[in-house]
Structure formats: structure tokens, C-alpha cells
Amino acid sequence: MKKRVVILGSGNVATSIALALNDKCEMVQIYSRTLANAQELARKVGCQAISDLRNVAPDADVYIISVKDDAITSVVDAVPDNGALWLHTSGSTPIEVFREKRSRYGVLYPMQSFSKSHPARMSEVHIFIEGSDSKINHEINDIASLMTCNVHQATSAEREKLHIAAVFACNFANHMFTLSSEVLEEAGIPFDAMIPLIKTTVAKLDSMTPQESQTGPAARGDQKIIDKHLASLNGDKQKIYKLLSQSIMKRK
Amino acid sequence: MKKRVVILGSGNVATSIALALNDKCEMVQIYSRTLANAQELARKVGCQAISDLRNVAPDADVYIISVKDDAITSVVDAVPDNGALWLHTSGSTPIEVFREKRSRYGVLYPMQSFSKSHPARMSEVHIFIEGSDSKINHEINDIASLMTCNVHQATSAEREKLHIAAVFACNFANHMFTLSSEVLEEAGIPFDAMIPLIKTTVAKLDSMTPQESQTGPAARGDQKIIDKHLASLNGDKQKIYKLLSQSIMKRK
């Protein structure tokens, strides 16, 4: 029998999970504070959209909370415990957010950079899980395994490290691409010229550590070039160039 | 008739250029301050290795200086002009470094992150050139075209912007991978777990700008998570996390 699932949230992670579970579970409701957002996702998976937590169906098997971290507690508090399995999907909120508020609970953290327009292939995503006890662990593992083979156990402390590591490797690396595109724009050069170089950088990770493969003025200790580059930058790009060059030089 | 080429330098860029020109030109000499380094590259292209600039052959057609930027001038000054074509390969040293010291000169800047163990396929590299006059421009274009079809004209000012953009997109993005691996190491998780996520981030660049595809706590304005992450970091990783989060939030 298919598990009955309510998704509380309609953002990038909620969307990826709802789409990945859609065939394998019975989707019951999508909740969002903004009804239009709930409706957009509910249409895709063919279920009810709600925008009032008082209307959350009490009879589903699994409730997946996938909202901004600082809204998780208010969602938990607004809905009474019904004995079902309650999960959140956050890298950085500990499992304790449910303690004494739910009887069966845990975390299902898909480590990926999700975006609505590029829903990740969940089958390739690594999911890190943590349950309130070992029986719950198995239940969460069963749900995660519907989406991917890459399911791992991780404590809240390990999960936070993973999340921080992902912010560096993904969000911050991507911000370097944004800053690069701003510099090129000033010279009227399209960002496309940079993409082969970025792909080479990433391809090296298959056979070398990033520390081993580092190149450039800071890795060479070429202070003259660093100073020239700093002189032609300003604002936060200048501050970032300086701090990152120091950070690279410290590790050589 | 094959052009006779001397390479002054034996680092990553010098190695990639020497290997790419080896079939198409006659390699005459490899110079390095450290004879063993000159010998290593000279063996690969079958020519003489030298470590004393007084022994540079006076009768080659092209001299390519590919040393650290702050050593370019001392190389130029140590060898008298012989009327041949003199080039450097630096993104951030202006063409003026040759002025009044050479009669025929220019720049051949291959925009790529080179490493000896991963020599770039030069045929995929974009090369930006600048000559002391339009005739020299054509000569440099002929040499660059032996290595790649992607040859572009760029002034010294444009080239510096390109170099800065490459430092952000390649060296600094790669440093984010290093910091990520350090965070994972603390939790005993191998960096491999992060590679699918990095590849997804880069794949998005084919269809979206990096600004459009940005995700994560700073892009969501999730200050609670940012503060938690900052509290569990220290040293330069903490400073970098803070500065980059501010920089991302400023652009939202």
C-alpha cells in the first residue's frame, strides 16, 4: 500500500522531493503560506493545495517539512501530533526541533543544490537521514530509498558539517562565477569565454585534491600581480580578492 | 619552414605551450633558472636545456617568456634584442614591458588553468593576443593558430580584466572546494560526496547565469542558519563565510 504523504513547503527542495515521491507514494496535500505557490506544486503532483496549517490532513502517514529553517518550529507548533512520521529536510536544524512535540520523527536531508527550473535527478542525490530511534531510522530509510540508492546515516552534528561544506563547494563557488561575470561585463566580454576554464577546474577533482590542483597568482605567491588586481578592483570584489588570496597563500 | 622557438620558463604554461608547439615548430632551447626543471621539459620536446640567460641562442625566430610576472623584466633585460619576435604569456603584464627593449614584440595569453600533471588540450583553450603593430599581430596570430582556433585580440587592459575574472572563476572557486574538503575532513566524510553537487552547480551555467542559479542560506536570506554556521567555523573559513554571505545577500 502506498504511503500517504503531506509536503509542508513549496520551495526548491519541497518541489524536488514531491516530484520524486509522486509515483511511489500518494500525495495528499501541499502546504505553502502563499496559496499560489502551493497550487503550482499541487497541480504537478495532482493533490490538494492549502495555505492554512489548521487544514493539514490529520490522517497521512508521513509529513515532510521543507520550509526555511527558521520557520520549521512554527510549523511543528501549529499542527498537533497525530502519531504519524514527521520529518524535516534541513541540513542545519538538529533533530531536537521535534523533541517532546512529536512521538515519531527524524530528518531526511538531500544534499544537493536544488532549483525549481533545474529539478535535480533525485536518483543521483546523496540523502543523509537521522531518526528518533532505530525503528524510525528504518522507516526513513525506506522513504529515502524510494528516491535514491545513496542513503547515509548522519548525526545532526555531521549533517551541519555537510551543509557548511556544501555552502562552500556549491553556493560560494557559484558566487565566484557571479563575481567573475561582473568583471568580464566591465570589459564587454561574455561569461561564456570562462566556461571551458571552469569545466577544466572541476574535471581535475576526479584525480587530484583541490589543494593539489590550485594554480594562479596566490598559489604562486605572485604578490605583484595580486597588488595589481587589487588596485583595479573595488567594493566587495576587492575585499574578497584580498581575503581569498591570503587564505590560499597560508595553505602553500 | 618551421619556426625556431626558444621557451624561457618551465612552469605549467611554458610546458603546455612547448608541448603544443613541439610538432609544428622547431624547439631550440628551454630555459629555467633551475637546470633540472629546464631538462625535464627539454627532454619531452627534444631540445637543449639551459639555466644561464647568457646562453640563450641568438638565432631563433620566436622567444616565448613564460615566467612569474615579476621575473619578466629581468629576463628581458638579461638578453639583448636580436630582432626576433619576443612574446610573454602573462594575463596581467602589459605589452609595455618590452617597450624600447625589443623591436618586435607582443603578448600571447592562453586563458586556462594549467597544471603540469593535467596539461590542457591547447586546441580548446582561448588565446588572447596583442602585438606591437599590426604586422606583428598577424605573426602572433599565426603562432597562436598553430595551437587553437580560439584566437582573440585583446588590449592589455582587457587582458587584465580577463585574468582577474579567471582568478575568481577558477582559482577562487577551486579554493572554495579546498575549504569544503577541510570542513568535511573534520566530520570524517570524504570530499567525493561533494562532487555530484559541484557538477550540478557547473552544469547550470550552460542555461542560466550564476546569479540566477544561486541557492543556499545567503540567497534565501536565512540569517539564523548563517549565524549557526559562523558559530561552528573559525579562522579564515569564518571570515570568508561571513564576507561571501554578505556579498551574495547584497545582490538579491
Mean pLDDT, residues A4-31: 96
Range from A111-115, A131-135, B185-189, B246-250 carrying the lowest mean pLDDT? A111-115
pLDDT digits (tens, 9 = 90+) for A173-230: 999 999 999 999 988 888 988 988 899 899 999 999 999 999 999 999 999 899 999 9
Q: How much is the mean pLDDT over chain B?
A: 94
By the CB < 8 Å criterion, does B100 face chain A?
A: no
Can you list the domains of chain A with their CATH numbers? 4-154 (3.40.50.720), 160-250 (1.10.1040.20)
By the CB < 8 Å criterion, does A115 face chain B?
A: yes
In angstroms, the CA B165 to CA B163 distance is 5
CA distances A207 to A201, A202, B11, B192, B213, Å, are: 11, 10, 20, 11, 27
Find, in chain A, the residue whose alpha carbon is nearest to that of B90: A225
* Nine cell digits for residue B192: 567525493
Q: Do A160 and B118 touch (CB under 8 A)?
A: no
Q: What is the pLDDT of residue B116?
A: 67
Residues of A in contact with B225 (CB under 8 A): 69-70, 92, 163
Q: Do A246 and B236 touch (CB under 8 A)?
A: yes
Does the pTM surpass 0.90? The reply is: no
Q: Which of A166, A180, A200 sits opposite B197 (nearest CB)?
A: A166
pLDDT digits (tens, 9 = 90+) for B201-210: 999 999 999 9
Q: How much is the mean pLDDT over chain A?
A: 94
Find, in chain B, the residue whose alpha carbon is nearest to that of A241: B168
Q: Do B162 and A187 touch (CB under 8 A)?
A: yes
Q: What is the pLDDT of residue A74?
A: 97
Q: Do A169 and B117 touch (CB under 8 A)?
A: no
Q: What is the pLDDT of residue A116?
A: 67
Provide the shortest C-alpha distance from residue B224 to chain A (in Å): 6
Residues of A in contact with B213 (CB under 8 A): 115, 118, 174
By the CB < 8 Å criterion, does A146 face chain B?
A: no
Q: Which of B125, B196, B244 sits opposite A240 (nearest CB)?
A: B244
DSSP H/E element including B153: strand B151-153
Residue B66 confidence class, pLDDT cut points 50, 70, 90:
very high
By the CB < 8 Å criterion, does B231 face chain A?
A: no
Residue B157: closest CA among A188, A187, A238 = A187
A237 has a pLDDT exceeding 90: yes
Residue B3 confidence class, pLDDT cut points 50, 70, 90:
very high
Q: For residue B190, how many other CB atoms are within 10 A of its CB?
A: 10
By the CB < 8 Å criterion, does B220 face chain A?
A: yes
Q: Do B68 and A172 touch (CB under 8 A)?
A: no
Question: Mapping DSSP to helix (H, G, I), strand (E, B) and coil, where does residue B81 land?
Answer: coil
Residues of B in contact with A118 (CB under 8 A): 200, 203-204, 207-208, 213
B217 has a pLDDT exceeding 80: yes
Percent of chain B at pLDDT > 90 equals 83
DSSP H/E element including A37: helix A35-45
By the CB < 8 Å criterion, does B250 face chain A?
A: yes
Give the A:B interface size as CB pairs under 8 Å.
312
pLDDT digits (tens, 9 = 90+) for A147-179: 999 899 999 889 999 999 999 999 999 999 999
CB-neighbour burial class of residue B23 (10 A; exposed 0-12, middle 13-18, buried 19+): exposed
Q: What is the pLDDT of residue B112?
A: 80
Residue B54 confidence class, pLDDT cut points 50, 70, 90:
very high
Angle at A223 between CA A227 and CA B173, to 5 degrees: 85
A119 has a pLDDT exceeding 70: no
Q: Quick check: B220 and A129 in contact, CB under 8 A?
A: no
Q: Quick check: B20 and B51 in contact, CB under 8 A?
A: no
Site from B124, B148, B201 to mutate, A interface, most A CB atoms within 10 angstroms? B201
Residue B192 confidence class, pLDDT cut points 50, 70, 90:
confident
Longest dimension (CA), chain A: 68
Q: Do A189 and B162 touch (CB under 8 A)?
A: yes
By the CB < 8 Å criterion, does B71 face chain A?
A: no
Residues of B in contact with A208 (CB under 8 A): 115, 117-118
Provide the shortest C-alpha distance from residue B20 to chain A (in Å): 17
In the stretch 37-66 of chain A, residues with CB closer than 8 A to chain B read none
In angstroms, the CA A191 to CA A205 distance is 22
Q: Comparing B220 with A4, which gets the higher pLDDT? A: A4
Sheet containing A85-88: order of strands: A48-50, A26-31, A4-8, A62-65, A85-88, A104-111, A126-131, A151-153
Q: Do A236 and B243 touch (CB under 8 A)?
A: yes
pLDDT digits (tens, 9 = 90+) for B68-110: 988 999 999 999 999 999 999 998 899 999 999 999 999 999 9
What is the predicted ipTM? Answer: 0.78
Q: What is the pLDDT of residue A231?
A: 97
Q: Do A187 and B158 touch (CB under 8 A)?
A: yes
Provide the shortest C-alpha distance from residue B59 to chain A (in Å): 32
